[in-house]
Amino acid sequence: MQSPTNQLIVPAGYRPLMDARHTERAIQKIRDVFQTSLAYELNLVRVTAPLFVRSYTGINDDLNGVERPVRFPVGGLDNQEAEIVQSLAKWKRLTLADLGFQPGEGIYADMNAIRPDDAMDNTHSLYVDQWDWELTITPEDRTREFLVDTVRTVYDVIRRTERFICHEYDQLTPELPPAITIAHALDLARRYPELTPREREYKACREYGAVFIIGIGAPLDAGPPHDGRAPDYDDWTTETVPGYRGINGDILVYNRVLDAPLELSSMGIRVDPAALEHQLALTGTQDRRDLYFHRRLLAGELPASIGGGIGQSRLCMFYLRKAHIGEIQAGLWPDEMVARCREAGIPLL
């Protein structure tokens, strides 16, 4: 597999607004307030998440369908393979079913993952920490309107937490707009046909401050999708109005420190059996039908749900106006990147 491209943005004249010791305290405050607010607003119960799952069950998240999970043999299981999670998108839905959660009830978990094929730059690392959440809904809730209402609730929690941490530290000033703008990837592609998806995100974030882009994974006017999505968790093919597909998307905000868009959350209404069959066929992955997760979904054993992941380190990075995610989490970075950050006054942990 081709190595990812590692790129670094070095903001001119950057200086951290707080030292490492105060940063660690602020991170704890942000995490406590955010998860409490999210659980309250969406009626979520905290559950313990796995760090690894059995390989070849379909439970692990395939992300864009090409990223390699970290696999290892387990001696106590006759050397059967396990793999470190990349996210909990499908595990959460199994948990909703197995624990008997009803519509309007849900779960959240602290998810820790390793994604060895991710690029390493200002906002990406090998280590991923998220609040992974999932809410049981009714089949009738599988609509664009329900998706947008949920996005606005999540965004209110994001904005409320920003106001809290800015109240705690005088050197921080709120930047998020009062409301998040809803845009479909197809509209952005038609508005900026000459731009790449990343450039469209930049335009939208600069204009609106915060935007939710619907339809991640769906082809756009017979062209490629805005971004990739695996075929077996988010529903990116259901048509909501003529020509517009997808009941999923990404929450992005404008990162002033980096002058760039920053994705904080990927979320969506999950596939039902019909959407799963359709998306497996579109991606040529019908062989997944025989995996444990997919068999249970196709048999009607899993509830309708909506869910997503919200990056913990990214959220803290945004709130604390950091230039690099390595100022929030300890990690591995290329030697050249470490040297450039040191020269630019960016203190990596």
Active-site position among 86, 87, 125, 130: 130
Query: What are 245's two structure tokens?
Result: 């597909």
Active-site residue, 21 included: no
Active-site residue, 115 included: yes
Active-site position among 83, 93, 115, 142: 115
Reduce the DSSP state of residue 38 to 3 states and report it: helix
β-pairing verdict for 80-84 and 106-114: unpaired
Question: Residue 84: which residues within 8 A CB-CB, separation 6 or more?
Answer: 51, 52, 69, 70, 113, 114
Active-site residue, 289 included: no
- The DSSP output letter for 195 is S
Query: What are 108's two structure tokens?
Result: 């959240």
Matching residue, tokens 């395939």: 62
Burial 293-319 (b: 16+ CB within 10 A, else e): bbebbbeeebbbbbbbbbbbbbbbbbb
Which amino acid would we find at residue 177?
P
Active-site residue, 263 included: yes
Q: Are 245 and 308 spatial neighbours (Cβ–Cβ below 8 Å)?
A: no
Active-site position among 87, 265, 266, 313: 266
Active-site residue, 187 included: no
Strands (E), 96-205: 106-114, 127-136, 181-184
- The DSSP output letter for 126 is S
Query: What are 331's two structure tokens?
Result: 């990690």
Active-site position among 250, 270, 312, 321: 250
Active-site position among 201, 263, 272, 327: 263
Query: What are 251's two structure tokens?
Result: 């929450």
Question: Residue 42: which residues within 8 A CB-CB, separation 6 or more?
Answer: 106, 108, 133, 135, 150, 153, 154
Which residues form the catalytic set? 61, 115, 130, 250, 263, 266
